[in-house]
């Protein structure tokens, strides 16, 4: 404890955050690297540049969005207090903690679904989201290959309803729902991006799995499917579910994307306008 206290008092907060993230990265690697070697698809190894880019995105995606979201979410919370009827936040405040957390997760997941879907349907948003889809061989660290603008937009869609309704706000009590939503989404994100050729039978009706999300990353036919991060029932509800017995033949995007981290960060501004993935008609649940 004394060593931890010394580090916290003598090192800058950013250094502590980097050390913490490095520890989590090591734990993720210890867990997923052996599993992907044992149960993943065999494909050509990725280049060092691609690996370094994904490592860079891991730290950027973990550190930057929280700072960028602080002011917008505070303004949303103030707007909710000012414009919503008093009965709404009062009703939310009267709920027991477990109900607040459950309701927050459900509402946040719906918001995240639509933020993700609009990132495919609106050309300006797709320019940033295309960075995430550029990986051609999914593995656990592909979860963090996300442009900061893309991540901020998606998180705003997921968190804004919570702050508007009073399910989230300043202080420890108000942070439980958004923290839980982001924690579950992040941890589960590493799993569904992992190169694991596992199927889960009836459980695939309840939770997102690698097969479910790998189809979302398919290069040609079904990139506009399976938007949910954890609850596939939303895709069934909104007509975007696709989960056959096989796996996609290829992943990635048709447009070229730089491999380097600076190139991918600048790509949305430097490249010609990105083409939104061709929409496909609604499908019945598979």
Which tokens hold the place of 236?
């069934």
Q: CA 107 to CA 11: how far, in whole Å?
A: 38
The string over 80-97, giving b where at least 16 C-beta atoms fall within 10 Å of a residue's C-beta and e elsewhere, is beeeeeeeebeebeeeee
Q: Which of 134, 143, 244, 245 is nearest to 192 (CA)?
A: 143
DSSP bridge pairs for 251: 218
Q: Tokens 């303004």, residue?
A: 75
Q: Tokens 């596939």, residue?
A: 232
Q: For residue 279, tell me if it sits in a domain.
A: no
Helix/strand/coil for 16 = helix
Q: Which residues contact 233 (CB under 8 A, 6 or more apart)?
A: 205, 206
Helix/strand/coil for 173 = helix
Q: For residue 149, tell me if it sits in a domain.
A: yes
Question: DSSP 3-state helix, strand, coil percentages of the chain (rounded to 5)?
Answer: 65, 0, 35
Does position 2 have pLDDT exceeding 60, yes or no? no
Q: For residue 276, tell me if it sits in a domain.
A: no
| Cα Rg, the chain, nearest whole Å | 20
Q: For residue 285, tell me if it sits in a domain.
A: no
In this structure, the number of other CB atoms found within 10 A of the CB of residue 255 comes to 14
Res 124: pLDDT = 92
Q: For residue 55, tell me if it sits in a domain.
A: yes
pLDDT band at 270 (very low <50, low <70, confident <90, very high): confident
Domain total in the chain: 1
Helix/strand/coil for 111 = helix
Q: What is the model's pTM?
A: 0.87
DSSP bridge pairs for 218: 251
pLDDT 10s digits, 152-190: 999 889 988 888 888 876 554 456 777 777 788 889 999
Cβ-contact 41, 195 below 8 angstroms: yes
Cβ-contact 158, 82 below 8 angstroms: no
In this structure, the number of other CB atoms found within 10 A of the CB of residue 61 comes to 21
What average pLDDT score do residues 187-214 get? 95
Q: What is the mean pLDDT of the chain?
A: 85
Q: Tokens 């592909």, residue?
A: 142
Res 284: pLDDT = 44
pLDDT band at 278 (very low <50, low <70, confident <90, very high): low
What average pLDDT score do residues 52-77 get? 86
Helix/strand/coil for 126 = helix
pLDDT 10s digits, 98-154: 888 889 889 999 999 999 999 999 999 999 999 999 999 999 999 999 999 999 999
Q: CA 214 to CA 135: how far, in whole Å?
A: 11
**Residue 204 CA to its chain's centroid (Å):** 19
pLDDT band at 5 (very low <50, low <70, confident <90, very high): low
Res 73: pLDDT = 79
> Could you list the residue range(s) of the whole structural domain that residue 134 is in?
2-270
> Would you call 30 exposed, middle or buried from its count of C-beta atoms within 10 A (0-12, 13-18, 19+)?
exposed
Q: For residue 283, tell me if it sits in a domain.
A: no
Does position 281 have pLDDT exceeding 50, yes or no? no
Q: For residue 280, tell me if it sits in a domain.
A: no
What is the torsional sign of CA 151, 124, 275, 263?
negative
**Residue 70 CA to its chain's centroid (Å):** 18
Q: For residue 201, tell me if it sits in a domain.
A: yes
What average pLDDT score do residues 254-268 get? 92
pLDDT band at 9 (very low <50, low <70, confident <90, very high): low
């Amino acid at each position: 404890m004394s060593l931890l206290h010394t580090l916290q008092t003598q090192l800058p907060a950013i250094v502590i955050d980097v050390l913490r993230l490095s520890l989590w990265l090591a734990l993720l690697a210890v867990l997923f690297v052996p599993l992907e070697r044992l149960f993943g698809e065999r494909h050509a190894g990725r280049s060092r540049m691609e690996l370094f880019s994904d490592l860079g995105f891991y730290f950027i995606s973990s550190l930057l969005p929280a700072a960028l979201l602080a002011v917008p979410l505070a303004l949303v919370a103030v707007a909710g207090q000012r414009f919503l009827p008093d009965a709404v936040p009062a009703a939310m405040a009267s709920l027991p903690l477990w109900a607040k957390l459950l309701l927050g997760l459900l509402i946040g997941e719906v918001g995240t679904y639509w933020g993700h879907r609009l990132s495919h349907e609106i050309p300006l948003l797709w320019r940033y989201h295309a960075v995430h889809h550029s990986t051609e061989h999914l593995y656990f660290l592909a979860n963090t290959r996300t442009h900061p603008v893309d991540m901020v937009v998606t998180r705003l869609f997921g968190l804004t309803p919570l702050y508007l309704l009073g399910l989230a706000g300043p202080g420890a009590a108000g942070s439980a729902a958004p923290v839980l939503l982001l924690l579950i989404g992040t941890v589960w994100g590493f799993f569904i991006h992992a190169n694991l050729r596992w199927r889960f039978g009836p459980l695939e009706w309840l939770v997102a799995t690698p097969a479910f999300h790998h189809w979302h990353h398919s290069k040609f036919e079904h990139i506009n499917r399976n938007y949910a991060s954890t609850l596939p029932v939303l895709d069934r509800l909104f007509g975007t579910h696709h989960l056959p017995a096989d796996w996609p033949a290829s992943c990635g995007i048709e447009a070229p994307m730089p491999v380097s981290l600076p190139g991918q960060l600048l790509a949305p501004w430097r490249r010609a306008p990105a083409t939104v993935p061709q929409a496909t008609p609604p499908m019945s649940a598979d």
